Structure 1
Amino acid sequence: MCGIYGTTIKYNDKQVEEKLKSTNFRGPDQLAWKAVPVANGQVTLGHNRLAIIDLDPRSNQPFSYENKVEIVFNGEIYNYKELRASLQSEGYVFKTSSDTEVICAAYLHYGNDCLNHFNGMFAFVIVDLEKQVLFGSRDRLGQKPFYYYHSGTDFEFASQLSPIKLYNPNLSISKKAILEYLKWGNIPDPICIFNEITKLRAGHYFEFDIKTGKLQDTKYWDIETNVSSPFLGSYEEASEELNSILKDAVDLRMYAEVPVGVFLSGGVDSSLIAATAVAGASNSVKTFSIKFNEKRFDESGFAQQVADHLKTDHHVIECDYRESLSLIDNFTDYFDEPFGDSSAIPQMLLAKHTRKKVTVALSGDAGDEIFLGYERYTHLKDRRAIFSIPYPMRKAMAGILKTLPNQRAKTIAKGFGFKTIEHFYVGLLTDIDLSWIDHDWSDEPIIDKEYLFHNDKNLYERISDYDLKTYLNSEINTKVDRASMAFSLEARSPLMDYRIVEFANKLPTDFKFQNDTKKRILKDILYTYVPKKIFDRPKAGFTVPFQEWFRGELKELVLSELDNDGLSSIPGLHVDKVAHKIKQHMNGSWNNYPLIWNLLVLKQWLNKYAVGLPTK
């Protein structure tokens, strides 16, 4: 896990060093760069290393292989030992025991198809000295980030925005990105807060011709929207096969040459990962949970029950609000772009303290998206009957509800007014009421709508695919990557093994979601390790009490940053409507803390990075 950087633009050594230092937290073990001679001049490659595999300096990056390719790489190739053995049988020679060297040899042997041989999380760029091209890619599910700037023969890339932003006089703030942020709470791929910078999509690779400046972006992996070979076996056979894949996925991710642990929230997904890790380990497994002083946010007791049953070396991280508040001031330094998921704060606290014991931590991320685990799926199921009512009739009902003085009635009216249940689901992910945004969203394309609006799968499979391509990528992966890397901790998610994703995609829906049982197959596998009674409770979120803090400890900050002048400085707002929502929150009549947090983060970012830059 590292930070990568590269550019065809000529910067001096001091500038390059400053660019790399801006994300030194991603890899504090080594900072290095080199100029690679190419046809038009040079490509500068830079790297911040967090050493995980082959700790010897011989594996430091930028890395050269056989004087044919140069590489900078962020992430892990979990099946690199198997690939290495296969490539050795083809005559390739290895001087290190790193996965970095395996990527280079695989590229030379398989070409662009090397990506289909990798099981991992990664973002890398190879300088192909013979072809005079840059070849770069991002993993299938977008666990590792990749930003790039392209203008003619100028090309610059990095794991985060900071290195590209420094010394670039050509940037402008994207109003479209701000509007998307206001709607989603994040900035979806491929757009960026800067108009001139792009995010490489998950499951894509690019080729950049150094001589001509031509850039080609290609998709190499995706979810099947029309499943070609559905699973036809029994539920028991599916459970057995899934459990086998999961065991291998966990075993692969437990390997490192540094201490490894497991995040344990006490929920289904993290408990399953911990149980599988314990089953395959020869030594005691370290597990980590976070304990909040506020009881309604604290699930550490459930995590402790799981840890006791599994006999893990369990560590409870006790945090109070003061430590949470201390992270807010520097939040944008680690996230680089506006990011509105408030659960990033406890995620950062967990990473900060876990790093004191281990360098790698496994998580249960992606279980909800892949196996239909979110409460909103049940909510959608309960609302399906409403959407069987013809749209004109629902629209008329919405018109009546809008006239009522009750705020809840007005919100219900908004729900009734969605044209289809798919549009309603998008509303659940954003905000049912977007009238506070000074923009007409009615004609706005829905991000990655092709995964949701088609007839080749049932509704639940389509929303699962949609969440995997949108919410998991732009929200969960961004949060986990930035929060963990802020403290130089590598987070690995076995459930994001592409074999699990592809297998789950073939399963009948009722293997995953039956009646009101969500994540059915995962739960049944878990119950072979841990008693079911521990999990007989409502699903809880991972958050801190911003609802109360915005009326107490953070009230002054909110009212000073988000007064009328502050709100007027944020593009895309109906200032009066937003001010009313803030007033509602402060007097306790309505809980609007997600909106307030989103706006605070955006205002903090604009204060720091937008000064003097045009918005367009």
Structure 2
Amino acid sequence: MCGLAGLWLPNPCLHGEALNALAGAMGATLHHRGPDDAGTWCDAQAGIGLAHQRLSILDLSPLGHQPMASNDGRYQLVYNGEIYNFAQLRAALSALGHRFRGHSDTEVLLAAISEWGLEATLAQCNGMFALALWDTREQTLQLARDRVGKKPLYYGWAGDTLVFGSELKALWRHPDFDNDVAPDALTLLLRLGYIPAPYCIHRDTFKLMPGRVLRLQAADIAAGAAAHRPEQAQRPFWDARQAMQEALAAPFTGDAAAAEERLDALLRDAVGLRMVADVPVGVFLSGGTDSSIVTALMQAQSARPVRSFSIGFSGSHHDEAPLAREVAAHLGCEHTELYVDGRDALAVVPELPRMFDEPFADASQVPTALVAKLARTGVTVALSGDGGDELFFGYSRYVRALRNWQMLRAVPAPLRALLARRAGGEGSRTGGLAVLFNEAGARGIGDVYRNRISRWRRPAAAVRGAHEPETFYSLAQPLHGAGTPADAMMLADFTTYLPDDLLCKVDRTSMAVGLEARAPLLDWRVAEFAWSLPLAFKYREGHSKYLLKQVLRRYVPDHMVDRPKRGFGAPVGDWLRGDLRAWAQALLDPARLAAEGVFVPESIQAPWQAFLGGQRKWHTHLWTVLMFQAWQEGWRQARADVAGQGGAGQGGALHPA
């Protein structure tokens, strides 16, 4: 895994040494993503600079160094990720006459682009990636991101210069990047706990969406951010909704036994591909269905005990370590577990603004950071079980949303309209009839589900001058009428929650310690097969992930399969009432909020006082605000650091406090 960064000036004005220094300074902020090697490439006449930080996984020799040029010199590439089927692509390219110096997937990717073009190449790639490709012949820059969005890529304008990178830290390092908070994007953080692509916490700054390519010419750079609507400018080479619609139109026709056989074969191949590395490989093991099946399939294909890692929480109902230990012992893994208490977890909180340089409020970021740090002591690559819930109907909220939608459809429209007028705003977060009142005006399953996953229900009321943008969750019918309501909810999570929350969390916490995380359940072949299956193969007799569990039974005893789902969470409410109370009180102080001018202080104080008074569930509202406040402190310090370093090329890596 690696980090990439770059810039493109609309009117080239830096000589080569200065441009190289600035690109290098931007790249150096990502040293944690790639501590093994660093490189830059610049063309001062074109005003383009590329930088790369390398975590060596395949071909540890200098032949894998980036930025890398194509053999004909046309392309320069910086790339973050892994192409798992690079060996097959290399064989096909060799048959066409291509010759290779090393055995890195980067060299294969460049040869494929030279042979077939970027989008045709990406359509053949099975992997996770974000990349920037400079075409010296056409003087164009293309940014691309993998199908699911496993690897991040930000871009925006620093003054009139295009800047881009794997994390916002790289963009911050440009002396002209002074883009303030985007209030509209902040409302999405309050509602969801994260900011989904293409939005970003900064003005004039965007995330590349999963499965998209952004092609830019010099005229685009000169026009600046105002000329671009990112959701329109980003062109899909793979679209999840279209892929699901096509899978639904050609459903799997076999019985459950045939589906189980097919899924086992697909998962075995997906796991096997992700075990290929020139460094030690392990697995995150929680003891749940998803991580257990990945671990089982790894061990079935390994001649040595697989290294597995889990975190245990002392005295907490969140403790899954005994389950993981039991699975590891049965499979014969070399298991490592670390028990932590509240003090260990709380020690991570001050580090969160450094790991997540965009505000992020999924509190499971804390245990995820702990298990990533643990795994890095033994391996450089770790496989995870991400994706099983979104593909195989794994969340209990799906069942509740379907129940509520069926109830609402039975209520006459005039009565539903009357009930909707009694919607309780933020108060509906506490449950009861207020939830049904809030959902009464739903136009479709998308509206009901949006209410189920929302933290703040009226976030724009809490942010000064804000209007909440639309997202995939704003759609009443996410599948445009195709499939079932269950399919629609899983698609909404696959396109939004999965890349912008779960995969973001794993990427930042693993990369913070130089660990590469791979998710075999999110192989695109597995996803498209899952979408072709009827709901009865996923949810049966009140139990979710039916087919996944049937596959798991091939490798472990039934009692290790038939367990209630446990979330990989953190006791945020206990923290805010205990050790973090003073920290939270300071960040939520009404005078401070008024002086900063971002939030409406009264809107923040209401849930804070309700929480302190003992009302349940308000901690999820408050954590979103606190994560923004902590991030804002880091961002302000980062700006001050860049100013103190005197601009381009004057210092090393930038690490906000």
Moved more, 10-19 or 354-363: 10-19
The corresponding residue for 2:551 is 525
What is the CA deviation profile of residues 439-487 of structure 1, one whole-angstrom value per residue up to 9, with x for unaligned ones?
A: 7999863436556262111100111111100110111111111011011
Counterpart of 2:203 in 1: which secondary structure?
coil
2:158·2:176 contact (CA, 8 Å) conserved in 1?
no
Mapped pair 1:366 → 2:387:
yes
1:339·1:601 contact (CA, 8 Å) conserved in 2?
yes
Mapped pair 1:79 → 2:105:
no
Counterpart of 1:5 in 2: which secondary structure?
strand
Moved more, 86-95 or 142-151: 142-151
Moved more, 389-398 or 202-211: 389-398
The corresponding residue for 1:3 is 3
Question: Normalising to structure 1: TM-score of the pair?
Answer: 0.93
1:436·1:577 contact (CA, 8 Å) conserved in 2?
no
What is the CA deviation profile of residues 217-263 of structure 1, one whole-angstrom value per residue up to 9, with x for unaligned ones?
A: 31110123533322112221111111111100000001100000010
Structure 1 residue identity aligned to 2:2: C
**Offset of 1:572 from its aligned partner?**
6.3
Counterpart of 1:452 in 2: which secondary structure?
coil
The corresponding residue for 1:315 is 336
Matches within 5 A, 1:310-389: 310-388=331-409, 389=411
The corresponding residue for 1:427 is 451
What is the CA deviation profile of residues 336-388 of structure 1, one whole-angstrom value per residue up to 9, with x for unaligned ones?
A: 11101010011001101110100000000011001110110121233233212
CA distance in 2, matches of 1:339, 1:241: 37
2:63·2:104 contact (CA, 8 Å) conserved in 1?
no
Mapped pair 1:149 → 2:179:
no
Given candidates 98, 107, 111, the residue that maps to 2:104 is 98
The corresponding residue for 2:238 is 221
The corresponding residue for 2:643 is none
2:446·2:488 contact (CA, 8 Å) conserved in 1?
no
The corresponding residue for 1:24 is 31
**Offset of 1:435 from its aligned partner?**
6.9
**Offset of 1:329 from its aligned partner?**
1.4
**Offset of 1:434 from its aligned partner?**
3.1
The corresponding residue for 1:390 is 412
**Offset of 1:531 from its aligned partner?**
1.4
1:153·1:210 contact (CA, 8 Å) conserved in 2?
no
Mapped pair 1:65 → 2:70:
yes
CA distance in 2, matches of 1:35, 1:408: 56
CA distance in 1, matches of 2:521, 2:569: 22
CA distance in 2, matches of 1:195, 1:476: 24
The corresponding residue for 2:648 is none
**Offset of 1:596 from its aligned partner?**
1.8
Counterpart of 1:385 in 2: which secondary structure?
helix
CA distance in 1, matches of 2:70, 2:418: 68
Give unpaired runs (5+ residues) of structure 2. Answer: 640-657
Moved more, 271-280 or 430-439: 430-439
Matches within 5 A, 1:539-578: 539-568=565-594, 573-578=599-604
Matches within 5 A, 1:176-325: 176-210=184-218, 213=221, 217-223=234-240, 224=242, 225-227=244-246, 228-325=249-346
The corresponding residue for 2:502 is 476
Structure 2 residue identity aligned to 1:146: L
The corresponding residue for 1:504 is 530
CA distance in 2, matches of 1:401, 1:100: 54
What is the CA deviation profile of residues 129-171 of structure 1, one whole-angstrom value per residue up to 9, with x for unaligned ones?
A: 2222222310000000011125898432110111112212452
**Offset of 1:506 from its aligned partner?**
1.2
2:181·2:202 contact (CA, 8 Å) conserved in 1?
yes
Structure 2 residue identity aligned to 1:412: V
Structure 1 residue identity aligned to 2:7: T
**Offset of 1:49 from its aligned partner?**
0.6
The corresponding residue for 1:411 is 434
The corresponding residue for 1:45 is 50
CA distance in 2, matches of 1:64, 1:408: 57
CA distance 1:409–1:309, change in 2 (3 Å): closer
Question: Normalising to structure 2: TM-score of the pair?
Answer: 0.88
CA distance in 2, matches of 1:181, 1:465: 20
Give unpaired runs (5+ residues) of structure 1. Answer: none
Structure 2 residue identity aligned to 1:508: P
Structure 2 residue identity aligned to 1:178: L
1:351·1:489 contact (CA, 8 Å) conserved in 2?
yes
**Offset of 1:211 from its aligned partner?**
6.7
1:437·1:572 contact (CA, 8 Å) conserved in 2?
no
Counterpart of 1:347 in 2: which secondary structure?
helix
**Offset of 1:396 from its aligned partner?**
3.2
CA distance in 2, matches of 1:159, 1:612: 17
Counterpart of 1:530 in 2: which secondary structure?
coil
The corresponding residue for 2:632 is 606
CA distance 1:217–1:408, change in 2 (3 Å): closer
What is the CA deviation profile of residues 410-463 of structure 1, one whole-angstrom value per residue up to 9, with x for unaligned ones?
A: 633543434244212101111374378347999863436556262111100111
Structure 1 residue identity aligned to 2:454: T
Mapped pair 1:116 → 2:123:
yes
CA distance in 2, matches of 1:240, 1:290: 32
What is the CA deviation profile of residues 540-559 of structure 1, one whole-angstrom value per residue up to 9, with x for unaligned ones?
A: 11122221111111111111
Moved more, 127-136 or 441-450: 441-450
CA distance 1:13–1:129, change in 2 (3 Å): closer
**Offset of 1:271 from its aligned partner?**
0.3
**Offset of 1:83 from its aligned partner?**
0.5
Counterpart of 1:349 in 2: which secondary structure?
helix
- Aligned-residue sequence identity (percent) comes to 33
Structure 1 residue identity aligned to 2:631: W
CA distance in 1, matches of 2:606, 2:55: 47
2:32·2:513 contact (CA, 8 Å) conserved in 1?
yes
The structure where helix makes up a greater share of residues is 2
Moved more, 84-93 or 418-427: 418-427
CA distance 1:111–1:290, change in 2 (3 Å): same
Counterpart of 2:128 in 1: which secondary structure?
strand
RMSD, aligned α-carbons: 2.6
Counterpart of 2:539 in 1: which secondary structure?
coil
**Offset of 1:510 from its aligned partner?**
1.3
**Offset of 1:316 from its aligned partner?**
0.4
1:584·1:591 contact (CA, 8 Å) conserved in 2?
no
CA distance in 2, matches of 1:87, 1:611: 49
CA distance 1:211–1:274, change in 2 (3 Å): same
2:156·2:163 contact (CA, 8 Å) conserved in 1?
yes
**Offset of 1:593 from its aligned partner?**
1.5
The corresponding residue for 2:651 is none
CA distance in 2, matches of 1:151, 1:399: 45
**Offset of 1:399 from its aligned partner?**
5.7
CA distance in 1, matches of 2:322, 2:169: 39
Aligned residues: 610
CA distance 1:433–1:164, change in 2 (3 Å): closer
CA distance 1:612–1:146, change in 2 (3 Å): closer
CA distance in 2, matches of 1:566, 1:265: 40
